Structures are given as C-alpha cells and as structure tokens.
Amino acid sequence: EVQLMESGGDLVQPGGSLRLSCAASGFTLSGLSMHWVRQEPEKGLVWVSQINSDGTFTFYADSVKGRFTISRDNAKNTLYLQMNSLRVDDTGFYYCARGTLSIPGLDSWGQGVLVTVSS
Amino acid sequence: QTVVTQESSLTVSPGGTVTLTCASSTGAVTSGNSPNWLQQRPGQAPRALIYGATNKHSWTPARFSGSLLGGKAALTLSGVQPEDEAEYYCLLHYDGVWVFGGGTKLTV
C-alpha cells in the first residue's frame, strides 16, 4: 500500500525556519516526481513546489521562490521541504504528493502536517 | 500571475449529472496543461480523481469523467451519490509550475 507520511510541522515565529519531511512507503521514491502543496485552514489548495525524479530539476510557486528549497533522498525514500524566512501567510497544512509516472499529474497524497507561523 | 477559475459552488440532486469547469487566464486550457481534478471532503486530505484531462486513477469511480470542453477543462459526475458532496479542485500545469483553481463546493 502506497503511504506518504509528513512530519516536522511546528509553531514558528515570523522569520524563522523549519524543515518538513515526507517518508514514503509501499513504493520506491526514485523514478517519480514529488510535490508539496499547502492549504490554509478552511481555504483552498496552493501548489508550492515540485522536484523531478533524481532531484536535478526543481520548480517553485512565486510566493516561496528564494525562501523554500525542495530536496529528496531517494536512498532514504524521503522528500524534504526546507522553509526559511517564514511569513505569517505560510501558515497552513502542508501535504506531500506523488507525481504520476507518465502524463504529468499528482496521485497519492499524505495526510498533511500543520505549520503555524505566528509571534 | 496565472489565475485558474472554477465555479464557487454547484448543487445537484442525487442521481443527477453535473459538470464542473476550469478556465485559465492565459487562454484555452489544452492537454498541454495536463488538467488534474481532485476531491476533498471536510477534514480529509485531497484525493486525486483525474490526470491528463481524461485519465482516471485506479481508485476513481466510473461515474467521474474528465474532458476538454469549449476551451476549459471539465469534470462530469453522472449518477451523483450523496458521498460526492465535497470540494473539487482543478490543477493546471504551466511549464513546470502548477496552479490550483479556487475550488468548487458541490452540494448534493
């Protein structure tokens, strides 16, 4: 069974840093792109970042470019999101999602982890 | 900044048919945007339904179908069930960057 488990969420002050992890099980992370998606409580989904299968290409939403870094360790079957210079509007649930194999898309999602940025 | 637009809310009777649409501020939605559709019930993580405009995942119920219609991506639910009441999100691809629509709240 494919499972994605996010961790690392916390309460952090504006300007602070946090690293999220997404542990994959039931499949091999290598060979698939991966994504991070944010959702503010009671609000819509916002795509944050994507990394290709071997980590050579990364893409970011304009709102996080220069502050967030997506990375992966295929040997550990784990995806990461390093978040620096955090702002209040970065608050929300962060989901990791697996990319589809051929046609671009997302398929399996984790349950999400809460990041709260507040003073 | 690219904006993806969906209906804010729709209502359908059980057993009925409803079509949700997804438009792009850059012009017609095409297969190149690889439209994805996701369902989210309250308190749950999103669940992927459709990718590449028309392709279903192994878990996607047969009553859900995706298409390109009049320059938009569309999600059609035929024979709607009470459990289909949820928020539905469209997701479009633009050269490595993805953009979600604001979501459609479907009431059954």
Reported confidence tier of residue A102, pLDDT bands at 50, 70, 90: confident
Kindly determine whether residue B51 and residue A104, on different chains, have CB atoms separated by under 8 Å: yes
Is A103 touching B (CB cutoff 8 A)? yes
Residue in B with minimal Cα distance to A65: B97
pLDDT at A111: 97
For residue A60, the cross-strand partners are: A49
10 Å CB burial of residue A116 (0-12, 13-18, 19+) is middle
pLDDT at A101: 87
pLDDT at B46: 97
- Closest CA–CA distance from residue A55 to any residue of chain B (Å): 14
Kindly determine whether residue B98 and residue A35, on different chains, have CB atoms separated by under 8 Å: yes
Indicate the residue type of A55: G
- Closest CA–CA distance from residue A15 to any residue of chain B (Å): 25
Instruction: Give A35-82 pLDDT, tens digit per residue.
Output: 999 999 889 999 999 999 999 999 999 999 999 999 999 999 999 999
Both tokens of B4, joined, read 């993806």
Q: Per DSSP, which regions of B1-108 are E strands?
A: 4-6, 9-11, 17-24, 36-40, 47-51, 55-56, 64-69, 72-78, 86-94, 97-100, 104-107
Nearest to B57 among A57, A95, A107 (CB): A107
For the segment A81-86, the average pLDDT, to the nearest whole number, is 98
Local confidence pLDDT in tens for the 108 residues of chain B: 899 999 999 999 999 999 999 999 999 999 999 999 999 999 999 999 999 999 999 999 999 999 999 999 999 999 999 999 999 999 999 988 999 999 999 999
Nearest to B45 among A57, A60, A95 (CB): A95
